[in-house]
Structures are given as C-alpha cells and as structure tokens.
Amino acid sequence: MRAWSVAAHAATLQARIGGSGAMAGLRVSYAVRAVGEIGVLASGDATPTEGGFSSAVALPTAPLWTPEHPNLLVAELSLTRGDEVLDRLSVRFGLRRVECTPSGFLLNGERFLLRGYGDDYTFPVELAAPASVEFWRKYLLRRKEFGFNGVRHHSTMLGESYLTAADEVGVLVQPELPIAYQPFFDNAPPEARRLYRVVWEAYIKQMRNHPSVFSWCMGNELYQGLPIGQELYDAAKRLDPTRPVIDTDGGPGAMSRPTLDYHSVQFNEWVLPWGSNREKYAQNDLTRPVIVHEMSNLSVLPDPADIPLYHGAIRPFWLQQMADQVQRRGLWDKLPAMLQASRKLQASIIKLNIESARLGPCVDGYHQWLFRDYWTQSTGFVDQFDRTREITPELARRFNGEVALLWDRDRVNYRCGEAVPVRLMLSDYRPGQAPALDTVEVTLDDSHATLQPPEAVGGRGLVGPWTGELAVPGLT
C-alpha cells in the first residue's frame, strides 16, 4: 500500500489485492485517523478491481508533518465480502510536501532551512546498526537537541526501524544508494548494475510512506552522474512524485542536470569564510536550492583516555597510536591543555562555517560533517559515545537552531574606546505564525545601542540588516 501526500491536505490510498480468488463481492473500506486519536478524519469504501484499490482522500482538517511538529496519521483498510472480514491493513504516514524552487526549499509551502549533519554509521558498542525503534528514537532525539532537523547517510539506505523513529521524532533523512564513489559503479559487473536498479525501486516502494524521507539520492560525489541516472530518476518520480531526487550528493556548483532537483555543492572546506574568503559559501546558480556538502570535516586531537570505553569488538588502535606518540614525546602533562585548545578551535570554526552559510542568501541548507566521530578521526560534534566536547546543545542551538542572530562583519577585535559599526542579520526559520523580531539591542559593559531595523521585518529566511554603532569601553 502507499499513502502519499499529493496536496497540502490530501492523500492517495492505493493497495494491491493478492491471491487467486474471485473478485466478486469484494469491498474495501478505509478510515484515516491521527495517530493516537479516536476521531476519523476521512472514511469511505469502494469496489476493488483486478488491479487493486485506489482512492483520492481529502483530509482538510488533518495536521501536517514537520520536524517541529511530526504529526502522524494512520490509514486503516479492511477487505470484506459480505459480513466476512478477509484482511486488514494499517499504514502510518504523514502529510507534508517538499518543493524545490529557485528561492529555496519549501516545506508545506513555507521557506525551509535544512540544518543537517552527516552520519557515517559508527557503532563502537553495538558494532552493527540495531533494529530497535526505541534505540533510534533516543539516537535521533540526541541529535535534535543540537538544533539539527535533517541528516544525510553516506552511501547507506536506512531500515524500517530507523525511519519509523525518524517519523516520530521529526528528522528529515536522506538515504543513498551504496555507490560511495564513481569507481564503485564503473567497475561493477552487469549483474551489480541490474541490482542497483532493483534495490532502488524496491527501496522506494518500501519506504515512500515515511514522511521523514527528504529525498532519494543515487550516490556520493558522482561528478559526471550515472549512465543509468535518468532511468533511476524517472523510476523514482514514477513511484514517488512527492520527493526531490538527486543523482549525486556532492559536486561542483556548476553542475546542471535534469537529474538534480537540488545541488549539494562541494565548497572549499580547506579555507575559512574570513577575509578574502568571506564569500566562501556564495553560489551564483539560482535555479534550484543549494546545500553545503560535507561542511567543515574538522578534527580535534584524539583522546587516549577513551581507550577503556572500547570493550566490545572494536579495538581503538588509532587512540593507542596517539598514546604511544604522547609517551614518546613526553607530552602527558601538556595533553589536557592541547585537547582543550583543539576542541575550542574546532567549535569556533564550526560555528563560523554554519553562521557564514546562513549569511549566504543562496544557501538553503547544509550537512555538517559529522555529528558523531568516524573511525580513526575525531570530526564530530560528539565522540563515538555521544559525549559532548566544547559544543553543548545550548551553544549549538544559538547558531544551529530555527533562528540565529548573525554578525555580518569579518572583524571581531577592537581597541578600547573605538566605535564599532554594528551590522546584524537574522536567519529566521521559525513557524510562519511566529511574531516578527523588530527591536535589537546590543550591550557591551556600560555601552548600549538600539539598532536601526531594516525597512521590512518578519518572514522566513535571511532578514536584515539591523545597523548601529557601539562604543568599546575604555580601560579602567
């Protein structure tokens, strides 16, 4: 069965009827409810045909699904002949629409910023991904604490338990065919290429009722696309016309193919968005939304004190190598300060990158790389056991939440008594009914300034600037 959203408050129910019995006298009845509610939002019945059952269902009072409010619905179908119930089926789904427009992503008709992270599926205790909805529910809630509303899984297609939890928690997920790099496809024998087609279509059929699925992606950093890209794109649109499709996550900004509903752009993560590189996340192509591919990817120093935590199948040889180097160089007394300095540096650059991307008028989202450390490196917000370093959830939400106040200058150091020209922007993706923020006040010790607001305030997206001047206190 499939129950996808075809309009803001409508769905199509489709089901195939198996078996070899006669169709005479069969009826299909349905009822749609909000999960956990008794009241019926819509109901009806119909006579199925040899092809099965299909019905467009208006749901004018049904709540929509968003990451902030992951409202879920359930469609309950019964197959009967006379008074006999032959079969029953319940399918959970959500009403939501993602649109790719020249002005960015729209979620249920409103501007939307994808605040995503990368997940490379590392499990130091479990080793393999569990199939527990409760495990994934806790796992995803932890990531939402830091302000994230989306996730990209590198070359991974998520299972039913994961997407069930994502539906409930409110996280937009980008699964990918496991084509990690172009040579993986180029060297695949004909049987493997046929398998890609089979898995692609089967996976979309299985998972398309999950509102948490943001898009369908064919692979990672496939700069030239795939020879079968158009075929896979057309299949995805035929099976699920409600979602964006991309033939690669990651590539130069100049790519423009009909198999890319949005661009996942590889910006230059080797430089900081500062000084001559302040426009690091500028993008000239305004024909479709743009997200930042694998943002930051910044390591901190590995901590040998974590070695005892690996008591399962994983042997943390990279941490032992670090311990050996520290011992050989006689740095044990300096290591705590070195670890703290590297963590502070990572936190400041991640914050700078995300704020710079949010200042870019052409950036509609990002995948911060990573949330949890990958094997042999320490590039996450948290370590492999989800323990925080320098970036706490409270700090992260200041620059990675629905709304962020942004310093629109590349200077942060001033002399005592100097007048500071202030220019602030607001990256605002709160719900549409949220009140406009019009007054901004800045205080530095005894110096205070009420900034001049822009001509227009309110609305979703990048708003501003608020301008003014603030005096730096003198020496006392």
By DSSP bridging, strand 263-265 and strand 290-296 are parallel
The Cα 100–Cα 243 span in angstroms is: 9
- Mean pLDDT, the chain, whole residue set: 93
Among 428, 407, 427, 426, residue whose Cα is nearest residue 470: 407
Mean pLDDT of 394-399: 98
Mean pLDDT of 7-36: 87
Mean pLDDT of 393-413: 93
Q: Is the pLDDT of residue 164 over 70?
A: yes
User: Can you give the pLDDT at residue 8?
Assistant: 59
Query: Contact at 8 Å (CB) between 85 and 78?
Result: yes
Mean pLDDT of 129-153: 97
Q: How many degrees, rounded to 5, is the angle at CA 393 between CA 390 and CA 396?
A: 75
DSSP 352-417: HHHHHHHH-TT--EEEEE-SBPPTT---SSB-TT--B-S--HHHHHHHHSSEEEEE-SS-----TT
Mean pLDDT of 440-458: 90
What confidence tens digit (pLDDT) does each residue in 330-339 have? 999 999 999 9
What confidence tens digit (pLDDT) does each residue in 253-298 have? 878 899 999 999 999 999 999 999 999 998 776 789 999 999 999 9
Query: Contact at 8 Å (CB) between 408 and 424?
Result: yes
What percentage of the chain exceeds 90 in pLDDT?
A: 83
User: Can you give the pLDDT at residue 409?
Assistant: 84
User: Can you give the pLDDT at residue 4?
Assistant: 45
| Confidence grade of residue 316 (pLDDT, cut at 50, 70, 90) | very high
Q: pTM score > 0.85 for this model?
A: yes
Give me 245's structure tokens: 């499709």
Least confident of 7-21, 373-387, 390-404, 451-465: 7-21
User: Can you give the pLDDT at residue 445?
Assistant: 86
What percentage of the chain exceeds 70 in pLDDT?
A: 98
User: Can you give the pLDDT at residue 417?
Assistant: 87
What confidence tens digit (pLDDT) does each residue in 84-118 have? 999 999 999 999 999 999 999 999 999 999 999 99
Among 456, 343, 361, 351, residue whose Cα is nearest residue 404: 351
Q: Is the pLDDT of residue 7 over 60?
A: no
User: Can you give the pLDDT at residue 112?
Assistant: 94
User: Can you give the pLDDT at residue 383?
Assistant: 97
What is the maximum span of the chain, computed from C-alpha positions, in angstroms? 94
User: Can you give the pLDDT at residue 3?
Assistant: 52
User: Can you give the pLDDT at residue 1?
Assistant: 54
User: Can you give the pLDDT at residue 6?
Assistant: 45
Among 108, 237, 259, 250, residue whose Cα is nearest residue 172: 108
User: Can you give the pLDDT at residue 285?
Assistant: 66
The Cα 390–Cα 348 span in angstroms is: 9
- List Cβ neighbours of 282 (8 Å cut-off, separation of 6 or more): 360, 362
Mean pLDDT of 314-335: 97
CA distances from 267 to 10, 82, 109, 295, 434 (A): 39, 63, 28, 8, 33
The Cα 34–Cα 208 span in angstroms is: 19
Q: How many degrees, rounded to 5, is the angle at CA 45 between CA 41 and CA 49?
A: 135
The Cα 220–Cα 184 span in angstroms is: 10
What DSSP designation does 446 have? T
Q: Give strand ranges (E) for 210-359.
A: 216-217, 245-246, 263-265, 290-296
What confidence tens digit (pLDDT) does each residue in 413-441 have? 889 989 999 999 999 999 878 888 889 99
Pairwise pLDDT comparison (103 vs 198), residue with the higher score: 198
Helix (H, G, I), strand (E, B) or coil at 143: helix
